[in-house]
């Protein structure tokens, strides 16, 4: 029996279920089609479980360093199965929360595989979704508007696909029963560095292989270099500007072996217990029926306009499947924007450079806006301010002297072009910079905001004042 609705959402991840809630708030009848669990990658295979593991790693590192706080401990032991159990409990609790939100907002959830179909007896236009349940039964969801939110999966290197024992993507790494003694991490981007930081804190010997000249190639170079320095100081080995010779991969003596080409064409054979391939994510655009529509896919991502409409105006696409910043909060924002637009509400298109980016390593990194290089390439005449955490009392109280906040501003208009930070809990500070950009605040205005003392937030005011050479604390 066909299921008619106002809005159907193909994919129940963060972007999908947030879009569903917003549509329900606007009085729409909503159906989510999800073949797995509500919450998608973020809740089950990404943001939440990885940050739960990172917190346990941070706690373990602090316990081992407790003497510096005047606390002597003996017998501290890492019990990894309990670490995993804590992670699973957090995921389970949040999953139940999402299920409750669906019930509360009267959103129908169809647990099945979905495939977009063209014009048919069900609808004169494409956008209906044929659904196939686990028992083989079929049905059709017939919406007025469709939102595609199918997400992404780890991108893999040919010849280095997960094998269940030696090679992992982040999906398999999250399900490890025990920690390896050593690991090779292919890719020095956000996900690779978070795993490097976590596993290093857990006592694993870590080597990171990155093709670019430095890690975090999408971030401001000052932050990237500081991150590499601080993780290197902890014992993480970095091979940058390196080319992995995938054909050389082999397993011997219960270890992985692979050759890497370094600067000057020098070859080195790397050996470790396991390998984690972390080279980005690939959109889930295959086998969802796009060929039955006028939707275009370019470079592996669904093409959309500024209002997130595809080549067919009544069909929208959001989140990882459209590329851009593949972040859960970006997908959520896009979901709300798409729903508001299809409902005729006033909307402001997403500006990618105004989406905050976070790296949950130890120390953390966060940013919003243009890097210094990007600002210069766009022709801005810039001025910058930088303030160190070693001059912030609360950072010393937390036990850290490392890191800084860097502000990039337009010398002509005084607009804030970018804010980049590395240090203790900076992922909790970047929202102030995000708000400042949304309100078109100047560095002076943020600098005049009263920040409580002692707090880490004081560094925001100081860094803003530093743009014009007026920082108080140094």
| Residues designated catalytic | 453
Helices 80-104 and 14-25 cross at an angle (nearest 10°) of 20
Question: Distance between CA 17 and CA 159 in Å, rounded?
Answer: 35
Residue of 273, 114, 301 lying closest to 184 (CA atoms):
273
In angstroms, the Cα distances linking 423 to 23, 221, 428 are 38, 15, 11
Tell how strand 301-302 and strand 297-298 pair up.
Answer: antiparallel
Contact 133, 149 (CB under 8 A): no
Contact 382, 417 (CB under 8 A): yes
Contact 370, 353 (CB under 8 A): yes
Q: H or E stretch including 223?
A: helix 221-233
Residue with tokens 């469709």: 146
Contact 42, 48 (CB under 8 A): yes
Contact 170, 195 (CB under 8 A): yes
DSSP string computed for 378-406: TT--EEEEEEEGGG-HHHHHTT----EEE
**Cα-Cα end-to-end distance for the chain:** 70
φ, ψ of residue 28 to 5 degrees: the values are -85, 150
Cβ–Cβ contacts within 10 Å for residue 300, how many? 13
Question: Distance between CA 173 and CA 164 in Å, rounded?
Answer: 10
Residue of 152, 146, 128, 130 lying closest to 339 (CA atoms):
146
């Amino acid at each position: 029996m066909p299921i008619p609705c106002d809005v159907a959402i193909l994919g129940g991840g963060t972007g999908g279920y947030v879009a569903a809630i917003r549509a329900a708030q606007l009085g729409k009848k909503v159906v989510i089609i999800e073949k797995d669990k509500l919450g998608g990658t973020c809740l089950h295979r990404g943001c939440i479980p990885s940050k739960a593991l990172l917190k346990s790693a941070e706690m373990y590192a602090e316990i081992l360093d407790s003497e510096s706080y005047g606390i002597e401990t003996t017998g501290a032991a890492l019990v990894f199965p309990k670490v995993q159990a804590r992670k699973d409990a957090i995921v389970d609790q949040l999953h139940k929360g999402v299920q409750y939100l669906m019930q509360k907002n009267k959103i129908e959830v169809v647990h099945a595989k979905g495939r977009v179909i063209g014009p048919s007896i069900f609808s004169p236009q494409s956008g209906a979704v044929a659904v196939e349940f686990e028992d083989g039964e079929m049905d059709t969801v017939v919406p007025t508007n469709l939102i595609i939110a199918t997400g992404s999966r780890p991108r893999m290197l040919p010849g280095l696909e997960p094998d269940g024992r030696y090679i992992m993507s982040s999906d398999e790494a999250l399900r490890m029963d025990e920690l390896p003694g050593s690991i090779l991490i292919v890719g020095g981007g956000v996900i690779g560095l978070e795993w490097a930081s976590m596993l290093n804190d857990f006592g694993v010997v870590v080597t990171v292989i990155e093709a670019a000249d430095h890690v975090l190639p999408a971030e401001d170079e000052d932050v990237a270099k500081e991150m590499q320095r601080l993780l290197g100081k902890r014992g993480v080995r970095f091979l940058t500007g390196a080319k992995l010779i995938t054909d050389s991969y082999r397993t011997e003596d219960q270890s992985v072996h692979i050759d890497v080409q370094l600067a000057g064409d020098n070859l080195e054979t790397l050996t470790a217990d396991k390998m984690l391939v972390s080279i980005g994510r690939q959109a889930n655009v295959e086998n969802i029926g796009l060929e039955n529509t006028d939707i275009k896919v370019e470079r592996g991502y669904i093409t959309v306009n500024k209002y997130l409409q595809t080549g067919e105006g009544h069909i929208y696409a959001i989140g990882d499947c459209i590329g851009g910043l593949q972040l859960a909060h970006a997908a959520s924002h896009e979901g709300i924007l798409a729903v508001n637009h299809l409902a005729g509400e006033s909307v402001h298109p997403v500006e990618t450079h105004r989406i905050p980016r976070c790296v949950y390593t130890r120390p953390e990194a966060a940013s919003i806006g243009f890097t210094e290089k990007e600002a210069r390439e766009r022709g801005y005449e810039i001025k910058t301010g930088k303030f160190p955490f070693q001059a912030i009392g609360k950072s010393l109280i937390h036990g850290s002297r490392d890191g800084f906040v860097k502000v990039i501003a337009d010398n002509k208009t005084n607009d804030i072009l970018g804010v980049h930070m590395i240090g203790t809990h900076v992922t909790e500070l970047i929202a102030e910079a995000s708000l400042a950009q949304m309100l078109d605040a100047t560095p002076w205005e943020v600098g005049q905001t009263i920040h409580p003392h002692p707090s880490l937030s004081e560094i925001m005011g100081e860094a803003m004042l530093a743009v014009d050479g007026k920082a108080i604390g140094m």
